[in-house]
Amino acid sequence: MRIYLDNAATTQLDNEVFKAITPYLLEYYGNPSSHHEHGREVKKAIEGARSTIAGLLNATPGEIIFTSGGTEADNTAILSSVRSHQIKHVITTPFEHHAVLHTLEALKTKGEIQLSFINTDSHGNLDINHLDALLKTNGRSLVSVMHANNEIGNLNDIELIGEVCKSRGALFHSDTVQTMGHYRHDLSKLNTDFIAASAHKFHGPKGVGFIYCRNGVQLSQLLHGGSQERKLRAGTENIHGIIGLAKALEIAYRNIDEHRVYIQNLKNRMIAKLREQIGDVYFNGNSAIADKSLYTVLSASLPVNHATGDLLAYLDQNNISVSGGSACSTGSASHVLKAIGADGSRNTIRFSFSKFNTAQEIDHTVEKLSALYKAIAA
């Protein structure tokens, strides 16, 4: 039996979600754009899912557009801001997901935008005063700041950032891929113009997500062709994915407080066990600070010895799945760790937890790591 501690990369599909989507693979197979009963019943299910999501987020159904996931949602928010709202200046952080950073870098290379980065400290905390100064001196801008970092878990105060953006007339986009389904988002109060989400980060299916676009903010057409998604994203909808997305978010909100306490306790246990059994360990960014980090993510920096080799491979060989950082950046040095000046000579492991993990799995994982270091020292 394998232990899975890479939930920031993707999560196990909830069995209740699987049951909800199965009829839309076998029984309800009509094309939702068809004007007959087979099509109408599927179209009704899509709009029901949209209403469910909007209700949970305190948004309106018209503000929810289904996408293939977080990357598409991030790209759409940025490109819409630049091309529909004539934004020429974008402010972001060096810690964003590559879906944001690579898009912005491409636009900068083409000469479509000027790009500024918010000052940060060695823990990855953002200088909000610097953000305000950038907004004050650069005209109307887009601010793109994620809610929580996918590698070190740092939480950003998007409520405060939204207020600063609103006071300066800036558009605000937040990648909430890591926090959707793990925190409550009241979009009627949060001053965001765009947010991105992906179902597979909260026990839904892969290949589906959504972009929230605030009423009154123009969204560029994603794909040309048919009239799906209010003529914004052509192509037959991912029916079972959409149904699964809505069901997964519904389940997450139903048990969100209980799961948060449970998973935070697992994380706390991992921190304590690593300190006790490894000793020479520190945690990147705000990863070990409960009120400043995502409770599902822990980034640990462990000592290196010539005999340890690749710790990720060692754990994999011992039936424990973890990662060093973002699954989208496997094989390359972490831009997040570089940005906070982390010691590149040490072994970094990202442990990420879910409601399906157990205390016994935490103990076993640390015991395996401890055994390796003890064997080296012997």
Burial (0-12, 13-18, 19+ Cβ within 10 Å), 182: buried
Q: Helices (H), strands (E): how many in the chain? A: 13, 12
* Residue located via tokens 């004539």: 86
Q: Determine the Cα–Cα distance for residues 172 and 143; give it in Å rounded to an integer.
A: 5
User: Pairing between strand 297-302 and 282-283?
Assistant: antiparallel
Q: Determine the Cα–Cα distance for residues 268 and 270; give it in Å rounded to an integer.
A: 5
Which one of the listed residues 25, 289, 328, 376 is annotated catalytic? Answer: 328
Segment (H or E) for 365: helix 359-377
Is residue 165 flagged as an active site residue? no
Which long-range CB contacts under 8 A does 158-165 form with residues at least 24 apart?
A: 158/190, 158/192, 159/190, 159/191, 160/128, 161/126, 161/128, 161/131, 162/190, 162/191, 162/192, 163/191, 164/128, 164/131, 164/132, 164/135, 165/135, 165/191
Whether 142 and 217 have beta carbons less than 8 Å apart is answered as no
| The token pair that represents 20 in the structure block | 């909800």
Give the residue ranges of DSSP H helices in 58-118. 70-83, 98-109
Burial (0-12, 13-18, 19+ Cβ within 10 Å), 243: buried
Nearest to 151 by CA among 116, 183, 178, 120: 178
Nearest to 177 by CA among 159, 202, 194, 152: 202
| Residue 160 burial (CB count, 10 A) | 13
Whether 126 and 160 have beta carbons less than 8 Å apart is answered as no
The maximal CA–CA distance of the chain, rounded, in angstroms, is: 73
Q: Determine the Cα–Cα distance for residues 227 and 264; give it in Å rounded to an integer.
A: 44
Positions marked catalytic = 328
